[in-house]
Copies of this chain bind each other. A is one copy, B any other.
Amino acid sequence: MSDHPDKERLVFFISDRTGITAETIGHTLITQFPGIRFIQRTYPFVNTLEKARSTAKRINNAGKQHGIRPVIFNTILDDDLKDVIASAEGMHLDFFDMFLVPLENELGCHSSHKSGLSHGIADEEQYMDRIEALNFSLTNDDGVITSKYPNADVILVGPSRSGKTPSCLYLALSHGINAANYPLADADLEADRLPQSLRRYRKKLLGLTISADRLHNIRQKRRPGSNYASLKQCQREIEIAEEIYRNESIPIIDTSHMSIEEIATTIMQHVRHNKS
């Protein structure tokens, strides 16, 4: 392969619906080429011949302007729309072409070729579950009310800014999981033990921890120079929190080097394990 790869590439994500699948696939693939700067453009809702034609035109114009042929990730299902996009100048990676035919052969039946099934509102009940889970997370975000904990699938405990709230909201939105979150406050840390109100839910608890440096950095952005953000205070809170987790045999998740998606995936493993 060339020692002088292209340094810049246009990438298009084309979909007849949200474009989430096209973006997810495309993003996963282009992050494998860190030496190239990708200029990314998403065209969702390309669901009429008119829109397909104008999208093809835009791709061609951008490609000409840019001088190197673009890469086109496409998750359109309709054959007529597909044909129009395929007429654009570029390298085409057609998701359904690549996967559906082998799957049809394996499964012994034709696919429905209906779009919007994956990220649409196809399953209304599942959709309402996610909204309900979101409401659950929002109303059980601060540890003030614990009366709804019997309905929780999981309860995250941890010091302030260790990643509890984003994880709970992500779990609700993507998995419809009822995730409550209980911040270990000063009173809890001083008592050096699990708050009474949490004891009966021990099996649902997961303890978040984080490196003191990282917590310090995160808190500095919120309240620069405060005692709350000081490295010493962060060290102290983490130390006590971890001691509580160990004493109570609460599984620990270290969020220091994890994204929200990674924390959520780790939590889901615990939830599934508890349910099975």
Q: Name A's B-contacting residues (CB within 8 A).
A: 1-2, 4-6, 9, 17-21, 24-25, 27-29, 31-36, 42, 44-45, 71, 75, 77, 91, 93, 95-96, 98-100, 102-104, 106-114, 116-122, 127-128, 130-132, 134, 138, 165-166, 169-170, 173, 218, 221, 257-262, 264-266, 268-269
Contacts and interface: CB of A to CB of B under 8 A. Distances in A.
Which has the most chain B C-beta neighbours within 10 Å: A107, A108, A134, A221?
Answer: A107
A131 to B, nearest CB: 6
B71 A103 contact: yes
Query: Can you tell how many copies of this chain the complex includes?
Result: 2
Contact of A108 (B2, B130, B221): B2
A138 B165 contact: yes
A23 to B, nearest CB: 9
B107 A6 contact: yes
A251 to B, nearest CB: 15
Contact of A112 (B32, B102, B108, B264): B32
Contacts of A128: 218, 221
